Amino acid sequence: MEVMSGNVKPVSRTCGFFISAPLKARNCRHIQTTKKEVGRLDIFTSDPASKEMAAEAFAEETAKRAVSHLPISPPEWCRLPADNNEIPRVSFQGGRNLPSRFTLDSNSRCSCGETESSLPVTDSELIIYTSSGAIYKTVEKRYCPSCRNTKGCIGPDLREYGVFNWNNTIAFSHELMHSYTSQFTTSETPIFAFHQTVINTYLNERSPKALCSLRTFVLAYFAFARLVLISSKMECPQCGPNPPIVIADGVSISFPKHRLESLKPPTISDKSKSHVRLPRQSTKSTCFIGSHKVRVSIQKALDEEKVHVGKSKLLSILINEVVF
């Protein structure tokens, strides 16, 4: 189910593609099938509302599962000595060593967990998304008897090829998923920014197929991350790996002593600096500094209507009054 702004929208999954249905389509065949599956359980039988909520939750969790289920080795740059070395490490190498057709094997299963099916084997097109572009391959699959209403299929895991099989229709290379893990742990890259970066790379490399939607990539990435096994012995010797209460302390940062010797508070005054006392009133300045009588005479000469008369007065003032 998808909850947005208080409205519950049923979501159906057909071969991995999510289709938002209107609110009135709450009785579609996928919801009805899920309700029948929940009816077989011994829980929520007395409360119809709880039974419906359980059915919706079951449908959402089923949509988040992938065909690939085998544990995946962490990338080389974040491996720990305690990691399981029995998990094979696969190098994708740009998909150059991939076969043209992926066949069913003993590790094949459906996203619901079903492994057995008597239905005939069929071939379908598989799109593998990598860091630089999409690759088209062929994959064998069988329709799952438990997911016949949702068209779920049993398919190969593809871990041995460095490929994460999402739903037998689209898949992702391990190196693409590890690339995002590396970016958000080293530079705190949001998943939206990474998704857009890969889209730009596909355009630049002229990929035959555009990258999947952000929602599909997010669901596939978290399904992939659940399969990556990273061992850790960071646990309390008394409480074990899951203590009931965890207290997280802050991080204190200190600086070397020689870095602090020259630092002083901004309120301390330095007597070695020159202090200048500014006058209360600034001195009035004019273009001509002289006696008031001379300035008045110059102003009257400039105000003369006749230019030649004004020039004569100015020349007389300069000769008789101004002393150089």
pLDDT digits (tens, 9 = 90+) for 199-224: 999 999 999 999 999 999 999 999 99
Which of 227, 254, 276 corresponds to the end of one domain? 227
The model's pTM: 0.56
Please indicate, yes or no, whether residues 130 and 210 belong to a single structural domain of this protein.
yes
Please indicate, yes or no, whether residues 168 and 218 belong to a single structural domain of this protein.
yes
Counted domains in the chain: 2
Residue 111 lies in a domain: yes
Please indicate, yes or no, whether residues 193 and 54 belong to a single structural domain of this protein.
no
Residue 165 lies in a domain: yes
Mean pLDDT of 110-125: 88
Please indicate, yes or no, whether residues 22 and 100 belong to a single structural domain of this protein.
no
Please indicate, yes or no, whether residues 204 and 132 belong to a single structural domain of this protein.
yes
The per-residue pLDDT for range 54-75, each reduced to its tens digit, is: 555 544 454 467 899 999 988 8
Please indicate, yes or no, whether residues 169 and 31 belong to a single structural domain of this protein.
no
Residue 13 lies in a domain: yes
Which of 10, 39, 64 corresponds to the end of one domain? 64
Please indicate, yes or no, whether residues 99 and 124 belong to a single structural domain of this protein.
yes
Residue 123 lies in a domain: yes
Range in 53-57, 147-151, 265-269 with the lowest mean pLDDT: 53-57
The per-residue pLDDT for range 25-46, each reduced to its tens digit, is: 456 666 666 666 666 555 545 5
Task: Report residue 6's pLDDT band, with 50, 70 and 90 as the boundaries.
Answer: very low
At 113 the pLDDT is 85
Which of 227, 250, 279 corresponds to the end of one domain? 227
241 and 235 in contact (C-beta within 8 Å)?
yes
At 287 the pLDDT is 63
SS (HEC) of the chain: CEEECCEEECEEEECCEEEECCHHHCCCHHHHHHHHHHHCCCCCCCCHHHHHHHHHHHHHHHHHCCCCCCCECCCHHHCCCCCCCCCCCCCCHHHCCCCCEECCCCCCECCCCCCCCCCCCEEEEEEEECCCCEEEEEEEEEECCCCCCCCCEEECCCHHHCEEECCCCEEEEHHHHHHHHHHHHHCCCCHHHHHHHHHHHHHHCCCCCCCCCHHHHHHHHHHHHHHECCCCCCCECCCECCCCCCCCCCCCCCCCHHHCCCCCCCCCCCCCCCCCCCCCCCCCCCCCCCCHHHHHHHHHHHCCCCHHHHHHHHHHHHHHCCCC
Average of per-residue pLDDT values in the chain:
77
Does the pLDDT value for residue 243 go beyond 80? yes
At 57 the pLDDT is 53
Please indicate, yes or no, whether residues 42 and 166 belong to a single structural domain of this protein.
no
Please indicate, yes or no, whether residues 13 and 135 belong to a single structural domain of this protein.
no
At 241 the pLDDT is 75
Residue 287 lies in a domain: no
User: How many residues does this entry show for the chain?
Assistant: 324
What is the residue range of 136's domain? 76-227
Which has more pLDDT, 130 or 12?
130
